[in-house]
A and B are shown apart, each in its own frame.
Chain A
């Protein structure tokens, strides 16, 4: 069973800020790490390979330093790592990213399953997996907390807001996974050593990918961030209302009305 896992390098800290003028992330000082849920996608792939055999390719798009996260994937046990890196690909939104990843998937050619995390910890759009499935015309199963493959079919347990549901489709397919699907393995030290000393991360540029260059990078991105701002949190004074419950409730409603916060609600 051949699997492609899409992974991404994200900034290390969750406290990373934005430049309000340019609308870009302030990445200075923040190291890059493997997107945490991508580790779950990799672990799911490794477990499926242990059960069914096959070959795993880890695929990423990013600047040259994104090679580091692919080395981590290799040290976890994937067979092959490919980085899409080219100045033409820079500044891509989710659609343009999915387009480039789709070309790379076609170039890899042999696959039964594509695994993605449900979202990255920086962008948090949860769009790349589904868009990639659409571009490749594959069935997609999202938010998986369990995956089981039986012959030519795959079944997942999908997490919903109020419960779960079981979904099944035929292979090839694309699945996005939830963080809780498994506990990712810690790469053993000898595997890390081997990854850095003996293994290769293949780098594909725009030429190797082929396709329509107008769909690459910033140029091929229909989404443009008009402005980005940090949420301002106003800290007000805390008032503690005292008295009997009915009396306190009346006081609270009075305050809310006074501040015009109950407009549009009936029966108040």
Chain B
């Protein structure tokens, strides 16, 4: 088993670190203050060719791997900014369109996602359901060569920004179908963004669909197979979310080390004290375990393995582990860690998101447990 990163991956990590330090970090405080990403951040990500990483070049992508996306994301995540999340989100939606889309859909929708002229969206959740397909109330009824969509979608990332999104609705056969919806369509509107505890600028809105017309050829994948599309997407999304957590966990450790080396207690730096050394050691050990398991699941994704159970188990482990890393980091910082002037405060709030978004930690237990119960052998 080779744990060595290739030269290509190492240079990508270095480039991502420079991007995080030079482009994202200087704007992080402003993003927090305004709860909005700068308009040009998507273009800067596109210029760095960080969007469409897993998409072949013929559709405007880079032709790289899920592992490289994870490595880049980990570096961007050290900022604790939603800009890192945006990069991951663009990649996962693009990969979904590539995997399920017809040649026509690929040609039309992938280039604008890769060049940053379109913001993606992935719309399943509704006011009455997070992940239960039977509870979906958005409808899609045929009308000639089109479908007419009606309903409300909740917590839709970048649902208010130009571009298109994948929207899930119950069709005339009461089955879930995925549609490519243009956000400038007549009848498409949205709420103001939800104010979140962390991830400022992520732009979660409710989207209202009122007689939105979608051509039949803009169905993504097979009609009635929408829930499979969602499950596959969310498995990849979970791995990315965990890379985001690993990056933020590392930032917690980096910030804690910097603080503890400078902070003098009784004439000695905090790092000279065994109690703090133990905390730092536990943090480091936890992050390493999370990091390498995340890389492993991303590698499995590149191998073409179904990662639904792996990614659920990964999330089940990483979320509480990194949340504990953040708790220790806050304790090391003392009252300063609770101040908005310190990055630690932002990291702590942002790290809280992963336990409840893209499937709660608890539902991962159900996924893993039911898979074990179904498995053959003892």
- B18 at interface by CB-CB < 8 Å: yes
Q: Which residues of B in the span 46-69 have a Cβ within 8 Å of any Cβ on A?
A: 47-50, 53, 57, 62-64, 68
Residues of B close to A68: CB separation below 8 A: 7, 11
How far is A189 from B63 in the complex, measured between Cα atoms in Å?
10
Using Cβ atoms and an 8 Å threshold, which residues of chain A touch B62? Answer: 189-190, 193
Question: Is the CB–CB distance between B57 and A196 below 8 Å?
Answer: no
Q: Which residues of chain A from 178 to 230 have any CB-CB distance to chain B below 8 Å in the complex?
A: 183, 186-193, 195-197
Instruction: Contact check, B15 vs A196: say whether CB atoms are below 8 A apart.
Output: no
Q: Which secondary structure dominates chain B's binding surface?
A: helix
In the complex, are the beta carbons of B6 and A189 less than 8 A apart?
no
Q: Do A189 and B7 touch (CB < 8 A)? A: no
Is B8 an interface residue, CB under 8 A from the partner? Answer: yes
CB atoms of B11 and A188 under 8 A apart: no
> In the bound complex, do residue B22 and residue A192 qualify as a contact, i.e. CB atoms below 8 Å apart?
no
Contact present for B11 and A186 (CB under 8 Å): no
A186-B6 in contact (CB<8A): no
Contact across chains for B49 and A190 when beta carbons are under 8 A apart:
yes
How many A-B contacts are there with CB distance less than 8 Å? 50
Confirm or deny: A60 has a beta carbon within 8 angstroms of a beta carbon on chain B: no
| Complex contact A186–B22 (CB within 8 A) | yes
Q: A71-B7, A72-B11, A75-B11 are in contact. Are A189 and B47 (CB under 8 A)?
A: no
CB-based contact B11/A71 at 8 Å: yes
| Contacts of B1-55 to chain A: CB distance below 8 A | 6-8, 11-12, 14-15, 18-19, 22, 47-50, 53
Query: Is B325 close to A, CB under 8 A?
Result: no
B17 CB to nearest A CB, Å:
9
User: Considering only CB atoms, which chain A residue lies closest to B64 in the complex?
Assistant: A193
Judge whether B11 and A192 touch: CB under 8 Å.
yes
Central interface residue in A75, A183, A192, A195, by most chain B CB within 10 Å:
A192
B280 is an interface residue with CB less than 8 A from chain A = no
Whether A193 contacts B7 by the Cβ 8 Å rule is no
* B253 interface contact, C-beta 8 A: no
- Range for the number of chain B residues in contact with chain A: 20 to 34
Say whether B57 contacts A189, CB under 8 Å. Answer: no
Contact call B8/A193, Cβ cutoff below 8 A: yes
State how many residues of chain A have any CB contact under 8 Å with chain B: 16
Q: Please, how many angstroms separate the alpha-carbon atoms of A186 and B11 in the complex?
A: 10
Check if B93 is an interface residue, CB within 8 A of chain A: no
Residues of B within 8 A of A191 (CB): 49
Once bound together, how far apart are the Cα atoms of A68 and B8, in whole Å?
Answer: 10
Contact partners of A190 in chain B: CB under 8 A: 49, 57, 62-63
Kindly report which residue of chain A lies nearest to residue B65, judged by CB atoms: A193
Residue numbers in B under 8 Å from A71 (CB-CB):
7, 11
Q: Which of A75, A188, A195, A197 contacts B47 (CB 8 A)?
A: A188
Q: In the complex the two chains form, what is the Cα distance from A166 to B68 in whole Å?
A: 46
Give Cα A190–Cα B57 distance, bound, in whole angstroms.
9
In the complex, B248 has a CB within 8 A of chain A: no
B14 to chain A, nearest CB (A): 8
A197 to B68, CA, bound (A): 15
The residue among A68, A191, A193 with the most chain B CB atoms within 10 A of its own CB is: A193
CA distance A177 to B6 in the complex (A): 32
- Mask of A74-92 contacts with B, CB within 8 angstroms, 1/0: 0100000000000000000
**Which residues on A sit within 8 Å (CB–CB) of B68?**
189
A193 to B8, CA, bound (A): 6
Q: A60 vs B68: C-alpha distance in the bound complex, in angstroms?
A: 28
Contact (Cβ within 8 A) B72 A189: yes
Contacts of B15 in A (CB 8 A): 75, 186-189, 192
Contact with B along A43-86 (1 / 0, CB 8 A): 00000000000000000000000001001100100000000000
Contacts A189-B64, A192-B8 supplied; 17 other A-B pairs, CB < 8 Å: A68-B7, A71-B11, A72-B14, A186-B15, A186-B18, A187-B11, A188-B47, A188-B49, A189-B15, A189-B50, A189-B72, A190-B62, A192-B12, A192-B15, A193-B8, A193-B64, A196-B7
A-B contact pairs, 6 of them (CB 8 A): A68-B11, A72-B11, A189-B49, A196-B8, A196-B11, A197-B8
A-B CB proximity, top 6 nearest? A188-B49, A196-B8, A189-B49, A190-B49, A190-B62, A186-B18
